[in-house]
Amino acid sequence: MSETEISTLGEFGLIDHLTKDLKNVNPSTLKGVGDDAAVLNYGDKQTLVTTDLLLEGIHFNLNYVALKHLGYKAAVVNFSDIYAMNGTPKQITVSLGISKRFTVEHIEELFSGIRAACEIYGVDIVGGDTSASVTGLIISITCIGEAQKDKIVYRNGAKNTDLICVSGDLGAAYMGLQLLERESRVAKEVKGFTPDFSGKEYILERQLKPEARRDIIEFLDDEGIVPTSMMDISDGLSSELIHICKQSNVGCRIYEERIPIDYQTAVMAEEFNMNLTTVALNGGEDYELLFTIPLTMHDRVNNLDNIKVIGHITAPELGYALITRDDTELELKAQGWNPLKD
């Protein structure tokens, strides 16, 4: 990789360089990069906006995360928030803070990942900001999406007896992170160490290159199912489910045996001597969808591969309950990943 100091291009040069061959794909994108603001047109649809800030040393570690994957993930986690409203992501703005150790080629790598995600999900890059940073890399992405007025799904619509559903499986991204951190520590201590990741590809991909569940949103739309509440699982199932319950003023009852977990996740949790259910409940970064649907729709989601009914909504006074495999009732607690704690 050749190395071009970013200061040789300057801010405007860098922006031009990164955006010169961007092509917009969405009719709602009237004007993208290159003016004081992007211009969007949503006609009679409603506009969704979400934003995420990712900081080096807090949210990612470049010792084991490739810049291209990082860019991909930074974009996808925003798309996931728009899908979690039952909407479709359409545009993003990308702001970067860049310290001196990064070259133009580094930022191209990062940006190529963002662009790859945008191409796959049909999203336009319409603006942003770049700046020097004193330490490390800063990525702030804002995503704008659209939705039909009567199909937007909030967190506060869950009703007593609704079914609680989860897409995909949980805990894999967290175990992928544990594995990467362990191998990174060993690599520092043991000269010439090469990690062997065979048989662990799935949990690594879940951590390094997660996808947003557009397929689930499309499936629900095809089936005419509008969930009563929905969130994406970024901070762990427990934390997100409690958000939905609090905002909907309801309780919940979920069953340990129904929580979807991949085989690789289970193997890795055992290797790390971690409680698998704790991993699945609190791991975070799954970017699966957690949603509730009326009980009457049970048959329409019961035999699907990628949606699992894990429990049901209850009256608020019943609290947040986890029913274990041995039929013990435990209180569900939000132990989600907290980036403001140590």
Query: What residues numbered 17-76 form the site for a copy of itself, per CB under 8 A?
Result: 30-31, 34-44, 46-59
- Considering only 61, 95, 148, 278, the residue that binds a copy of itself (CB under 8 A) is 95
Residue 85 three-state SS: coil
From 127-135, 169-177, 209-217, 318-326, give the range in contact with a copy of itself by CB under 8 A: 127-135
Nearer to a copy of itself, 64 or 276 (CB): 64
Residue 181: left if φ>0, alpha if ψ -120 to 50, beta else—which one? Answer: alpha
Burial degree of 176 (CB within 10 A; 0-12, 13-18, 19+): buried
Closer by beta carbon to a copy of itself, 87 or else 276: 87
Chain positions 246 to 275 lying near a copy of itself, rule: CB under 8 A, are 247
Three-state secondary structure call for residue 180: helix
Q: Residue 318 — left, alpha, or beta (φ > 0 → left; ψ -120 to 50 → alpha)?
A: alpha
Q: Is 306 in the site for a copy of itself (CB under 8 A)?
A: no
Q: Compute the least distance from the CB of residue 103 to a copy of itself, in Å.
A: 12
Binding to a copy of itself (CB under 8 A) within 312-341 occurs at 338-341
Task: Please work out the total of residues on this chain that contact a copy of itself, with binding judged by CB under 8 A.
Answer: 76
Structure tokens at 84: 């979690």
For 177-250, where are the E strands, in sequence order?
A: 229-233
| x-or-dash string of contact with a copy of itself, 75-94, rule CB under 8 A | ------xx-xx-x---x-x-
138-157 positions binding a copy of itself, by CB under 8 A: 138, 140, 142-145, 147, 149, 152, 154-156
Shortest Cβ 48–a copy of itself spacing (Å): 4
Distance CA 94, CA 189 (A): 37
Phi, psi of 127, rounded to the nearest 5 degrees: 170, -175
SS3 313: strand
Cα separation, 311 vs 44, in Å, equals 37
CB of 81 or CB of 183, closer to a copy of itself: 81
